[in-house]
Amino acid sequence: MSTNQFKGTGVALVTPFKSDLSIDFEALKQLLDHVSEGDVEYLVVLGTTGEAPTVTAKEKNEVIEFVLANNPKNLPVVYGLGGNSTKWTIDQLDLVKDYDLAAILSLSPYYNKPSQMGIQKHYEAIADASPFPVILYNVPARTSSNVTAETTINLSKHPNIIGTKEASGNLAQCMEIQQNTPDDFILISGDDPLTLPMMSFGCVGAISVIANIQPKTFSDMIRYGLAGNFEEANKLHMQMMTGYDLVGKEGNPVSVKTGLEALGLMKRDVRLPLFEGSKELLRHFKMYLGDK
């Protein structure tokens, strides 16, 4: 299957909330228009940045339906679906099987700390059951277990596993994956600041947090990188260094929602156990974005 639609920038969309913490669909529409105007390549809903752990199953379906119905450029939509129970994750596939999704992005099992063979079998079971292509998602800082290069290479042989979002921060591991997986298996960055360095050895783009705020700057950087023009890509990369820092300052998605409030696109409300970004962070975002 073709993976060209995932070459470029995927936006890890936030889920906006009103002050009563119900989903703010008006703000979500504004965000969809904002990132589409930035010429990103695809959308990722209900991942880490979308606060998936605190969004109910009913709300998830409402969000997916809304994004699909309010997608100005009809961009491919990827759905975040992962958990620490393989059976539960497979059962959730049944709730979204009828949606027009391009792929699912599946987080490695957290809390359980499975062995590498357990991780491999988990993903193989999901890929066997999924009506959509599967993109692996490795983020050890959140899951407390790393999907090793060897495990990813083994999983790349499955016909329904098309790539991996690597947020390990381990460039040597990413290089090993890139070197030893099939040509049509895609390496996607899950760390905005590391995306351009990763593109130097074959990464095809990113599922980005900062692209919620600066979709055009980030996606232009990716396009320059894909074209081999690293001089121009690096100029844009350096322009966003302060932004990268701010987006990570108080955690994700707390910080990016604070930046989006600074842009006037939504309020920075999050659901507990997350807590809203500080007024100081909001002030710094306004200063940063005021220069753009």
Sorted by where each begins, the domain ranges of the chain are: 7-229
Say what the pLDDT of residue 291 is: 63
What is the residue-wise DSSP string for 173-211? HHHHHHHHS-TTSEEEES-GGGHHHHHTTT--EEEESGG
For the stretch 182-215, pLDDT in tens is 999 999 999 999 999 999 999 999 999 999 999 9
Q: Which fold has domain 7-229?
A: TIM Barrel (3.20.20)
What is residue 292's predicted lDDT score, i.e. its pLDDT? 55
- Asked if pLDDT for residue 78 goes beyond 90, the answer is yes
Average pLDDT rounded to a whole number, residues 16-45: 97
* H or E element at residue 10: strand 8-12
DSSP E strand stretches across 13-143: 42-45, 77-80, 103-107, 134-138
Q: What is the mean pLDDT of the chain?
A: 96
Q: What is the mean pLDDT of residues 95-107?
A: 96
pLDDT tens-digit profile of 257-283? 999 999 999 999 999 999 999 999 999
Decide if pLDDT at 1 tops 90.
no
Per annotation, catalytic residue among 165, 224, 249, 288: 165
Q: How confident is the model at residue 75 (pLDDT cuts 50, 70, 90)?
A: very high
pLDDT tens readout for residues 215-240: 999 999 999 999 999 999 999 999 99
Residue of 79, 137, 244, 288 with catalytic role: 137
Whole-angstrom distance, CA of residue 266 vs CA of residue 262: 8
For residue 2, what pLDDT is reported? 77
Beta bridge partners of 138: 166
Residue 99 appears among annotated catalytic residues: no
CB 134 within 8 A of CB 127: yes
pLDDT at 82 over 80: yes
pLDDT band, residue 16 (cuts 50/70/90)? very high
Query: Can you tell me the distance from the alpha carbon of 31 to that of 81, in angstroms, rounded to the nearest whole number?
Result: 21
Give yes or no: 123 in active site. no
